[in-house]
C-alpha cells in the first residue's frame, strides 16, 4: 500500500461532537477512534440554520474524496486537551459490508495519543492537512489492522514537519 502526503489546497478546520460509531474501534481493531458528528439529518432550510461549524463538517463530508488523511486534533473537554497527531478516515469503511455496512460517510479520527478517559460527547477539533491514501477493502481483518497501524506511523512521522498547527487559533477559539 503506497502512502504519500498530498496537502489539501488549504487545511480543513472541523469541529463537532464525538459520537458513537460502530464500536469496532477499540474492541475489534485494538485502537480507539472518535467519530465526528455529521448532521446528515439537516436538509434544505434546516441546513442553513446549522451553526457554521456543523455546516463546514457537512460540506467537508460531502465534498472530500474518501480516503485516509493526516490531521492535528484536540479533544476540547476533560483533563487532557492537548493537540495531538491524528490519522483519520473519511468514507464508507468498505472493509465492512452487508449487515455491518455504514449508511453514511463517516469522519473517524484515530488520535495518536493514550487518553485516560473516554471522550464520547466531547467537543473535538481537527485541522486536516492532507490525503495519505485511498480507502481500501482488504483480504482480512488482520490486514486492515496492519494497514491502519502503518497509517498511524506514517502520519506520526509526516506531521512532525507541520508542528506549527499545534498553535493554530482554531484549537483555542470557541
Nearer to Mg ion, 16 or 25 (CB): 25
Distance CA 119, CA 133 (A): 27
Nearer to Mg ion, 11 or 15 (CB): 15
Q: How far apart are the first and last CA of the chain?
A: 38
Distance CA 33, CA 109 (A): 5
Interface mask toward Mg ion for 121-150; x: CB under 5 A: ------------------------------
Distance CA 147, CA 89 (A): 12
Nearer to Mg ion, 51 or 100 (CB): 100
Just list the catalytic residues.
108
Q: Which of 5, 2, 33 is nearest to 19 (CA)?
A: 33
Single out the residue of 3, 21, 96, 113 in contact with Mg ion (rule: CB under 5 A).
21
Contacts of Mg ion in 33-62 (CB under 5 A): 33
| Binding stretches for Mg ion (CB under 5 A) | 21, 25, 33
Amino acid at each position: 500500500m503506497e502512502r504519500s502526503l498530498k496537502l489539501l489546497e488549504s487545511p480543513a478546520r472541523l469541529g463537532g461532537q464525538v459520537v458513537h460509531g460502530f464500536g469496532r474501534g477499540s474492541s475489534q481493531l485494538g485502537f480507539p477512534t472518535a467519530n465526528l458528528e455529521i448532521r446528515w439529518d439537516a436538509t434544505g432550510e434546516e441546513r442553513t440554520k446549522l451553526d457554521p461549524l456543523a455546516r463546514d463538517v457537512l460540506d467537508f463530508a460531502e465534498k472530500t474524496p474518501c480516503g485516509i488523511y493526516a490531521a492535528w486534533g484536540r479533544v476540547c473537554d476533560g483533563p487532557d486537551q492537548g493537540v495531538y497527531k491524528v490519522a483519520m478516515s473519511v468514507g464508507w469503511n468498505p472493509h465492512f459490508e452487508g449487515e455491518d455496512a455504514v449508511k453514511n460517510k463517516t469522519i473517524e479520527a484515530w488520535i495518536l495519543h493514550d487518553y485516560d478517559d473516554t471522550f464520547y460527547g466531547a467537543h473535538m477539533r481537527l485541522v486536516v492537512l492532507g490525503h495519505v491514501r485511498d480507502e481500501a477493502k482488504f483480504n482480512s481483518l488482520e490486514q486492515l489492522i496492519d494497514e491502519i497501524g502503518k497509517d498511524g506511523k506514517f502520519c506520526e512521522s509526516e506531521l512532525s514537519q507541520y508542528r506549527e498547527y499545534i498553535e493554530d487559533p482554531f484549537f483555542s477559539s470557541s
